[in-house]
Structure 1
Amino acid sequence: DPQAGATWMYTNASNLDAFLLEVYNYYVGHGFWSILLSRAISLLTELFVFAFAMFLTTCVDWGKLPSSKSSSEVLIVKCMAKASWIKNLALFTFVMYWCSRLVTNLGGVRQLSRMHNFYHHVLGISDGDIQTVSWIRVVDGLVKLHNANISTADPNPAVRRYTKYNRPQQRMNAETVANRLMRQANYYVALYNKDILDFTLPIPFMGQRHFYSKSLEWCIDFCLTNFIFDEQGSIRPFCLEVRNRKALVEALQTRLRFAALTSVLVAPVNIIRFCIIYFFKYYTEFTRNPSKASTRSFTPFAEWKIREFNELDHLFQRRLRQAYQPANNYLRQFPKDKVDQLCRFVSFLSGAIAAVLALATLLDPELFLGFEVTPGRTAVFWLTVMVAIFTVSQGSLPEEDEVFDPVMHLKAVLYCTHYVPSHWKDRLHTTEVRSEFSAMYQTKVLIFVEEILSLIVAPWILLRNAGKRSERIIDFFREHTVHVDGIGFQCNFAVFGFKKDANAADPTTVLDEPDGLRDEYFGLKDDKMAASVQNFMHYYDHGRYRRNGKKQGWQPPPAWP
């Protein structure tokens, strides 16, 4: 019976976190066939990129290309037999890696089929509907399944009282599902919000320069995974004991130094790999539409600053996409008269030259297409260049009917990002705020350049954090971890279920802290806690998770701790 087998998957799951992660990945992947197609395309893409790069660097004699008229004259016969041992080793390593990935994906088809049955027979969601159904619908199905099964349902108070039922029960609701799925990510949100890690380096004549990239993020994750966190993503209990602090700090410093050494060794390979992938991915797009080169996106570091507690990845990406249009409108708001004048001048020159070349080409195509305007460069080449310059410069000019109101547009951005540093308040119109925001929302070309630069400077950044910062990292995990019955260890900021006595005194009125150092040390920046709770309730609160049907105004959580 497929339905019984699918129900058995949930009731007998030894690791509920891993099971919920499978449920979530299946939802984000849009079902059985979409996931299979995505995995197949990923394998074929890796195979093509490696094979094509190996072919271009090994099997083509580029020296014969100018004097040759056919591909047979420039191709090297049995090229791999004549290749160096380094290329043959790279080929062998890639083949082993690719075959292992193929075997892993083939082995995962069975589990994927079981998850398909779970969605179809238990949750009542078919593959045709999974692309349009909301995540709330999936959570509702999980909660109903949890409450309907005798082995997972929470006994009523009478049963607990008369049977002495004391076993902590696994809870299931929207918050606990998010807690389990983001058990490790919630720590990272707090880690970046409190600026525990230092990603700056002193640059001559430039001062402190900030460097961050996905590669550096992977290095940090490598240092913390299977050390602070176990295989299930939960924090290890011995990391919470003060007596182990010195040993933990020394172990973390060793891991950071090892990661720095490893990043030095793999940096050349990563730089080549990133350049090849970026070239193959964006060359056609940029040549077809040169204005795409100026498109912007949030930097990896800005994404961690914007992300909120218990915010699942697909919800976070949706919030970022909603912010793109108002962010572009905001950056165009600030008058840039000098730049606009230069763009108009460049647009006029390039447009005039392109018009003359295009007109001459139309009058006598056969003669003019082969005519060299400059030595070795035909009219077609310069026509293409001038059109590209005209397109880029014209695209940088503001619309004639555009009205300047930067504060209004930035408020539209902040409505989506929920990121409002304290020093931005009442200063949204200033160029300083615009400079800070543009550093977070950069062009994709600059993000790629920073990715390459971060690969080079990553060892120094990791070594800087291997000093006193290691003590702060260990203290952070110990001081901001709580144990929740039925869930396990959690980052304290991710636990939204506060229970506060209405008659209890406000701790801020009892404790005399004129300097606010305690709040600064234990608290969060930029109202992250309030924004996280409000955003979570805004998405999930549709009358299902309220204790009563009466609509209540949102109340901020109490100060932590």
Structure 2
Amino acid sequence: MCHIMHIFLNIKFFTLVDFCNAISYEHVKLLSILKLHNVKFFQFFTRFYQYHQGGGFVCVTTARVCSLLQYLFIVLFSTFLVECVDYPVLFNNKNTTADGIPITGKRHIQLMTLIFVLGIDDDNLGNLTWCEVLALLCQKLPDLHVIITKDKLNELDICQRILRFKNYFVALVNKDMLPPVVNIPFLGPQPYLSSGLKLNLDFLFFWGSFSPWEGPYTLKDEYKDPQNIGKLSNSFVCINTQCHKFFIYTINSCIPSVIHFFLLCGAYKKRSNTKLRHFNELDHQLQIRLSRSYDFATRYMNLFTSPLIEIIAKSLKFVTGSIFAVLFALAAWDEDVLTVNLEHALTLMTATFLIVIVCSSMITSDDCVYMPERLMRSIIACIHYAPISWEGKAHTRAVRKEFDSLYPLTFRYILEELFSPLITPFILFFWVRPRMQKFVEFFIRFTVSIEGLGDVCSFAQMDIAKHGDEKCIFILAIDGVAFDKDEDYIANDGKTEISLLNFAAMNPLWEPPPLAAEFINDLKTHVSCLSVFLILFEHILKNVW
């Protein structure tokens, strides 16, 4: 409970059918009867969320087209550099000429004007928050009759449809089944989850032809029988890991990793950190929460510099900076310095400039104030994650090393992505394959079937009686609750309670179940009393001193 209170106080693009499902009441009611079953319903909410976050139909279409053009550019430009460039001519080693023939083509794109049931056009979409749009959607859904098993859908139902697979992945990480731990020489065990590896795990567990899922909303029947654990794990490994995954990875991960290095090496801050993600937390909510911690996290990481390395970096920066300054001044005075008087002057200037940049990153800034505990409290208030081992030890390198796995340096992230095509096949075969029976057992044990919703992760229900820590409930004096005594069913790090609090805060119109509502109200009372006590204590100290 102290752990929870500590954190709390520190606190595809729409297809035509999907659009037609929202154009007018007359067409919606007809299409909902004829075409909109559970699969379409699941896809609708996911793409509806993408539509809102993408900024509307035009923005989503433009983003998808630009993304496609970027990949096309990478392929064409790489081919051009390898096959179409005469490097001896480029480096002025021989004289020749070349003629080019322009290639022309035409593409016609038709745009359609759509009338939406919610009455929100693209221009006004930015004026509404996701909570407002979600509330309006919940209000309109009963009139559309898109689902017959429930009269009304709430915010939790919609979020669980959007985040069905992501909740499973969050639960796998929370139960320490992921990410894989790799023993690296001189560094010891290191958690490893690159973009390529996550892509493979998603394909293996959720999207692949031989995944446990029969569709986007239900598990296969054989995965609901505990007696099939051994049989399923063996076939799961043979089909997915040994054959299919190895070749799929080459196409879907090797090339994107190279592209990521050249184009997106600075975008690591935008990736979803699964360990810090709450159950039923949407992408934009996670991004906003983590973005608030970036400044504090960067300042915290910059506090830990080696005095020896800093001394060497300062000396090296002075020497290389002096050489660069002289060459730059001479080149500015007379451009012949770059071509005639000094051979390879441009190369030398580039090398010295890069060395200066690297050395500068190793030197502590003059305005850096050593306040690790205060910075760590600010970080915890944003990321909602604080192991007990961090308390009072933010100044130690052990805590810094553990936090580094959550907030890696850009250089480390680039190395992980570059080596991902080589490491991932070995992880899939030597780490994932022996543990496949545990993964199959996880899907069997922690899947619940809900009418009108399908199969979802039981942790995503945020049932504190089943997955909560009974110490939290007993401290809050909530009686009459039958807890599950199996430790495997209890979420680590108070994830169930924190996820419940976060979801209630993000969706103020949501009506939680009675036990969850009682837990939230009692916690608010405890926090209010504690806040009053802290204010009085601070006032007393001021009067004393």
Q: For 2:432 and 2:344, locate their aligned partners in 1 and report how far apart those are by CA, in whole Å.
A: 54
CA distance in 1, matches of 2:69, 2:168: 35
Give deviations 1:425-476, integer Å, cap 9, x for gaps. Answer: 3432211010121232223332122122221122221112454411111111
In structure 1, distance between residues paired with 2:523 and 2:149 = 29
User: How far apart are residue 503 of structure 1 and its match?
Assistant: 4.9
Per the alignment, residue 331 of structure 1 pairs with 301
Equivalent position amino acid for 1:416 in 2: C
How far has the Cα of 1:18 moved from its partner? 1.4
Q: Name the counterpart of 1:36.
A: 61
Of 501, 504, 507 in structure 2, the residue corresponding to residue 537 of structure 1 is 504
Distance in structure 1 (CA, Å) of the matches to 2:304 and 2:411: 22
Quick one: structure 1 residues 184 and 505, their matched pair in 2 at CA, closer, same or farther if it must change by over 3 Å?
closer
Partners of 1:60 and 1:152 lie apart in 2 by 57
Inter-partner Cα distance in structure 1 for 2:406 and 2:270: 6
1:74: Cα distance to partner?
5.8
Report the residue type matching 2:125 in the other structure.
I
In the other structure, the counterpart of 1:234 is: 218
Instruction: Write the distance in 1 (CA, Å) between the matches of 2:409 and 2:187.
Output: 21
1:274 aligns with 2:299: no
**Structure 1 residues 193 and 477 mapped into 2: Cα distance closer, same or farther (>3 Å)?**
same
Q: Which residue of 2 aligns with 1:196?
A: 177
Alpha-carbon distance in 2 for matches of 1:357, 1:57: 33
Partners of 1:401 and 1:447 lie apart in 2 by 27
Partner of 1:146: 141
C-alpha distance in 2 between matches for 1:454 and 1:434: 24
For the residue of structure 2 that corresponds to 1:117, the secondary structure is coil
Structure 1 pair 347–207 and aligned structure 2 pair: CA distance change class (3 A):
closer
Matches within 5 A, 1:347-358: 347-358=317-328
Paired position in structure 1 for 2:18:
none
Q: Secondary structure at the match of 1:490?
A: strand
Q: Which residue of 2 aligns with 1:73?
A: 97
Matches within 5 A, 1:67-216: 67=92, 73=97, 116-118=114-116, 122-148=117-143, 151=145, 168-169=149-150, 171-197=152-178, 199-203=180-184, 207-216=188-197
CA contact (8 A) 2:182 2:191 kept: yes
Tell me the SS of whatever aligns to 1:526: helix
Indicate the residue corresponding to 1:93 in structure 2: none
Residue 324 of structure 2 contacts residue 349 of structure 2 at CA under 8 Å; is this kept in 1? Answer: yes
Q: Which moved more, 1:250-259 or 1:353-362?
A: 353-362
8 A Cα contact 2:217 2:454, kept in partner? no
Distance 1:463 1:457, change over 3 A: same
Given that 2:501 and 2:520 are in contact with CA atoms closer than 8 Å, whether structure 1 keeps it comes out as no
Distance 1:332 1:405 in 2: 11
**Cα distance change of structure 1 residues 73 and 404 upon mapping to structure 2, 3 Å threshold:** same
Q: Deviations over 1:1-43 (max 9, x none)?
A: 9532464378443232111112112112210111121122122
Q: How many pairs are equivalent? A: 481
Cα deviation, residue 556, structure 1:
6.9
In structure 2, the partner of 1:448 is 414
Mapping of 1:372-521 within 5 angstroms?
Answer: 372-373=341-342, 376-378=343-345, 380-465=346-431, 467-496=433-462, 503-504=479-480, 507=483, 518-519=486-487, 521=488
Secondary structure of the 2:493 match is coil
Are the aligned partners of 1:197 and 1:469 in contact in 2 as well (CA < 8 Å)? no
Write out per-residue CA displacement over residues 334-387 of structure 1, whole angstroms, 9 at most, x where no aligned residue: 35422332232223223333333344445x4255444544xx312x54344434
Q: d(CA) in 2 for partners of 1:533 and 1:552? A: 9
| Residues 407 and 497 of structure 1, relative CA distance in 2, 3 Å threshold | same
One-letter amino acid of the counterpart of residue 215, structure 2: E
Structure 2 counterpart SS, 1:125: coil
Cα deviation code 1:164-207 (max 9, x no counterpart): xxx74264111111111111111111011112246234455654
Between the aligned partners of 1:447 and 1:299, the Cα distance in structure 2 is: 13
Q: Could you tell me which of 305, 329, 333 is aligned with 2:275?
A: 305
Q: Aligned partners of 2:121, 2:82: CA distance in 1, in Å?
A: 47
How much identity, in percent, do the aligned residues show? 24
Normalising to structure 1: TM-score of the pair? Answer: 0.75
Q: Could you list the per-position Cα deviations for residues 482-514 of structure 1 after superposition, in whole angstroms to 9, with x for gaps in the alignment?
A: 223332222111113668996525548xx6xxx
Secondary structure of residue in 2 paired with 1:441: coil
Quick one: structure 1 residues 198 and 41, their matched pair in 2 at CA, closer, same or farther if it must change by over 3 Å?
closer
Residue of structure 2 equivalent to 1:96: none
Secondary structure at the counterpart of residue 129 of structure 1: helix
- Alpha carbons of structure 1 residues 337 and 46: separation in structure 2 relative to 1, 3 Å: same
Give the AA of the match of 1:4: Y
Question: Deviation digits for residues 270-299 of structure 1, max 9, x if unmatched?
Answer: 5455335533x26xxxxxxxxxx8x68459
For residues 292-325 of structure 1, what are the alpha-carbon distances to aligned partners after superposition, in whole Å with 9 as ceiling and x for unaligned? x8x684596x811111110111211222222211
What runs of 5+ residues in structure 2 fail to find an aligned partner?
A: 1-21, 467-476, 525-545
Q: Letter of the aligned partner of 1:252 in structure 2?
A: F
Q: Distance in 2 between matches of 1:335 and 1:203?
A: 22
Query: Structure 2 CA distance, aligned partners of 1:311 and 1:481?
Result: 19
Distance 1:407 1:347, change over 3 A: same
Aligned AA for 2:233?
A: V
Superimposed CA distance per residue, residues 187-233 of structure 1 (whole angstroms, 9 cap, x where no aligned partner): 11101111224623445565444432111112222222342123224
- Aligned partners of 1:239 and 1:478 also within 8 Å: yes
Counterpart of 1:8 in structure 2: which amino acid? K
- CA distance in 2 between partners of 1:206 and 1:321 (Å): 29
Out of 237, 240, 245, the residue aligned to residue 253 of structure 1 is 237
SS in structure 2 at match of 1:144: helix
The alignment's TM-score, normalised by the length of structure 2, stands at 0.77
Q: Which amino acid aligns with 1:470?
A: M
> C-alpha distance in 2, partners of 1:2/1:485?
27
Q: Structure 1: which amino acid aligns with 2:224?
A: L
Please give the alpha-carbon distance, in whole angstroms, between the structure 2 residues aligned to 1:399 and 1:32.
45
Alignment-mate amino acid for residue 182 of structure 1: L
> Residue 194 of structure 2 contacts residue 420 of structure 2 at CA under 8 Å; is this kept in 1?
yes
Partner of 2:492: 525
d(CA) in 1 for partners of 2:160, 2:186: 45
Instruction: Name the structure 2 match of 1:94.
Output: none
- Aligned-residue CA RMSD in angstroms? 3.7
Structure 2 counterpart of 1:253, one-letter code: V
Structure 1: runs of 5+ lacking an equivalent: 81-98, 154-166, 283-292, 512-517
Q: Which amino acid aligns with 1:533?
A: L
- Local SS of the residue matching 1:442: coil
Q: Distance in 2 between matches of 1:406 and 1:435?
A: 14
